[in-house]
Structure 1
Amino acid sequence: MADGDQRWRAAAGDDWLADVARAASRDAGGAPVELLGDYLLLLADAAVSGRRPRRSELEAVERLGRHAAEQGVSAGKAVQLYLSAARRMWQQLPLLRRSGDSAVVLAAADAVLQVVDDAVATLAEGYAAARRELVRREETLRRELVDDLLRGDSDLGGLVQRAEPFGLDLTRTHQVALAAPSRRLPDTEAAIRALEAVIFDRLGDRDVLVATKEGLLVVLAPADPATTAAEPAARAADLAAAATAVPLGDLMYAELSRLPRGRPWQIAVGRPHPGLYGIARSYEEAREALTMARQLKVDRPVVGAHNLLIYRVLLRDQPAMVDLVQAVLHPLTRARGGAQPLLETLAAYFDSGGVATEAARRLHLSVRTVTYRLARVRTLTGYDPADPTDRFTLQAATLGARALDWPRQPLPAV
């Protein structure tokens, strides 16, 4: 600030411009006076001679707008600094105090307002250009950080240092969620801003990172409440309750559904795991859950990795799964209409907790039709869906058939 004051005294030969600059800085919440550059001299010159700024002088103002953005000065404060400086300079302009000619005053006002118009517009352009560059740079850094975190094989010390500017504490327990749009990813920045705002607000915690990867939105969020010495345990408990009241996947789906493009979204959420390598593990679970949801034609908007654990078990040993489906369910192909209606009835019956009336409601059938089909399953396979032991075998085989898309697709050769 002192350097700026000396500059004004040396350039203007008087203290009054320096006083104007300091007062304008106070009006703008302490915006650096150096951001004014030669602006006040341009105003004073315009008032006296009517001269408009040269291209080189406006380019200097544009650079000052860039500096304001790079220094973290808000656009509002930067503009307020320039407007306040113009107002205060006009009030103290020696020309106005000495002149009694209204025509001279009007000409000076017109010239000064023209400089204000040119300078503020140019300042805003420079500020906006710098902000776009900063956003692109931050997006690149964020995407690179996310890639390394999700890969889980980078230098731990380097990752901790790179994560710090984003407010991430890699010692905490995190979970990863992936959001897949119905088509291509829509406006990336709008989606990222929307998710960050709602997650910050709900979790009360800035330990969140939102980025893009391979056409998906990636959300890295804490699964445990952050506690500090100044924060009592009761407050941490409140944050934990708020975080679990609306699960991360549901929170994301509700917010993304408000965006004009990208719908319908499907969200896959990995399980929470502690530490750096837990982030990579949660991501792999979320990615696998999304893949399996597509493979199994799961139309739920939010799928959790914990909900698909049984499919992971089944898919890891495909020969055993094929053998199970072949041995248990293949006899259903002898039914009139084939195996598909009976399989759909079994799936609805198991999904409804073994309640035939609920299964009938889901299938839009009568209860009598459902009980008849269950009886046919018992007759054809020898397994009774109502028997606890048989039900486990039938349900595992039904899940396997869904994973293999049988009977729409033939069973793989093993």
Structure 2
Amino acid sequence: MDEVPGVPAGLLGGHPRVLAAAAATGRLPGRAALDDYRAAGARAAESGVPLRVLVETALVMAESMDPVPLPALRRAVSALMEGYENAQRLALRQEEVARREFVDDLLQGRADRLAERAEHFGLRLAETYAVAVARPAVPLDDGSVRDGTVRDGGGVVRDGGGVVWDGDGPARRIEEAMVARFGSHNVLVAVRDGGLVCVVPGSLTVATGEFTHHVRQMFAPGWRVGLGRPHRGPGGVVTSYREATGAIELGDRLDLRAPVLKAADLLVFPVLLRDRAAIEDLVTTVLSPLREARGGPEPLLGTLEAVFASQGNQTAAARRLGVSTRAVTYRLERIRRLTGFSPDDPTQRFTLETAVLGARLLEWPAHAPG
């Protein structure tokens, strides 16, 4: 029989013989024959032969037989497809491992063949890139060796070593959506440290917004997204990643309500922490008198935060706190008497707000400077 275009020579060379034997004896293909079909299916996948073409070729080769041994043909095609799909899953798993290793090396600044490996994933490291990090309420499975438990509700694929990969969970769907819109050469999405990392060109500002949109749609409530600033080169990717994760950490420490935090909007906080001794002195000097208040300093600190977040509007602050406006007014007066600082005075307001931010960064008063 002539070779079929698009199918490697000899790939299905034994197919007519197996079918002829089945037609003559009435016996179905045995284990060895089915293993050969699975191997042929795997070679077809590795050679880039479309599955449709492979199956159609097997069917066309059977059409010349009279009669066609349909049960044997069905088993043969099933084994071909099984081998093809197994090879595809293994290749996908290997790609996931390579991607995870590359992302780890990239975000930790390890330079072993970094540029060469980056080209495989479509990144040109001399350009400017920004990193977004999504942290779900429940950590994602990064595909490393597990006991078989699925962490985020997707399909499970196991290779011979018992490796488990979540192939149909939120992380995979977000990656597919991002690649579908921007192309695989423009985005790199990978699970790392229980979160989802997205690396995009700095010029493609809409991509981080799209990433956040998909996180909002596919992650359960309780997620946060940190957005790093664009930086140039491999070191810039590391810097942007650290900014993104730092934004999430600051959101937790400061109990910020916003689920999406931009590092560019939080630059004041690293500045505050850079001179830790100075911020500790400010917090101790300004806020220590609040310890004398009935109920401790926490209600008064929360009141100041609500007032600052409401641009000084005490009615709006009361709604945030779930108390009466009179209660807010009373607490602010108590703060003024204890500390000598009033949020109504512009200079004193700045001092108070900075001290409150410093208190949250230092986890004061639970971890009071000493």
* TM norm. shorter chain > 0.5: yes
Report the CA distance between 1:276 and its aligned residue: 1.6
Alignment of 1:378 with 2:340, yes or no, is no
Aligned twin of 1:73: 49
Q: What RMSD, in angstroms, separates the aligned Cα atoms of the two structures?
A: 2.6
Query: How far did residue 411 of structure 1 move?
Result: 0.9
Greater helix proportion = 1
Instruction: After superposing the two structures, state which structure 1 stretch, 51-60 or 317-326, moved more.
Output: 51-60
The alignment status of 1:132 with 2:89, answered yes or no, reads: yes
1:312-362: CA deviation from partner (whole Å, max 9, x where unpaired): 222233222221111111222333433222211110111122222221221
> Which one of the candidate residues 138, 153, 177 is aligned to 1:183?
138
Matched with 1:256 is: 218
Structure 2: gaps of 5 or more residues: 141-150, 153-165
Asked whether the equivalents of residues 198 and 255 of structure 1 are also in contact (C-alpha less than 8 Å), the reply is no
For 1:257, give the aligned amino acid: F
Q: Which structure 1 residue ranges, 4+ long, deviate > 6 Å from structure 2?
A: none
Query: Which sections of structure 1, spanning at least 5 residues, go unmatched?
Result: 1-16, 97-107, 226-239
> Do the aligned partners of residues 410 and 47 (structure 1) sit closer, same or farther apart at CA in structure 2, a change above 3 Å counting?
closer
Give the match's secondary structure for 1:37. coil
Is 1:82 matched with 2:61?
no
Per-residue deviation, 1:385: 0.7
| Alignment partner, residue 202 of structure 2 | 223
The AA in structure 2 aligned to 1:375 is E
1:170 and 2:125 matched: yes
CA distance in 2, matches of 1:373, 1:364: 14
Residue 271, structure 1, aligned to residue 229, structure 2: yes
| Identity fraction in percent | 44
Q: Give the TM-score, by structure 1 length.
A: 0.75
Aligned 8 A contact 1:176 1:282 in 2: yes
Displacement after TM superposition at 1:395 (Å) = 0.6
Residue 199 in 1 paired to residue 157 in 2?
no
Partner secondary structure for residue 393 of structure 1: helix
> Contact 2:200–2:207 at 8 Å: present in 1 too?
no
Q: Contact (CA 8 Å) 1:195, 1:255: kept in 2 or not?
A: no
Q: Which moved more, 1:309-318 or 1:277-286?
A: 309-318
**2:138 counterpart SS class:** coil
Say if 2:39 is the partner of 1:63: yes
The whole-number CA distance in structure 1 between the counterparts of 2:84 and 2:136 is 33
Corresponding residue for residue 146 of structure 2: none
- The answer to whether the 8 Å contact 1:296/1:403 transfers is yes
1:195 aligned partner, one-letter code:
I
User: Using a 3 Å threshold, how does the CA distance of structure 1 residues 299 and 40 change in structure 2: closer, same or farther?
Assistant: farther
Instruction: Select which of 12, 16, 26 maps to 1:40.
Output: 16
Moved more, 285-294 or 161-170: 285-294
- The answer to which of 36-45 and 122-131 deviates more is 36-45
* Matched letter for residue 67 of structure 1: R
> What is the Cα deviation at residue 285 of structure 1?
1.5
Larger Rg computed on CA atoms: 1
Pair 392,81 (structure 1): closer, same or farther in 2 beyond 3 Å: farther
SS of 2:189's equivalent? strand
Q: Please give the alpha-carbon distance, in whole angstroms, between the structure 2 residues aligned to 1:54 and 1:335.
A: 84
Aligned residue number for residue 239 of structure 2: 281
TM-score, scaled relative to structure 2 = 0.83
2:219 counterpart letter in structure 1: S
C-alpha separation in 1, matches of 2:57 and 2:325? 75
Give the Cα separation in 2 of the matches to 1:67 and 1:199: 30
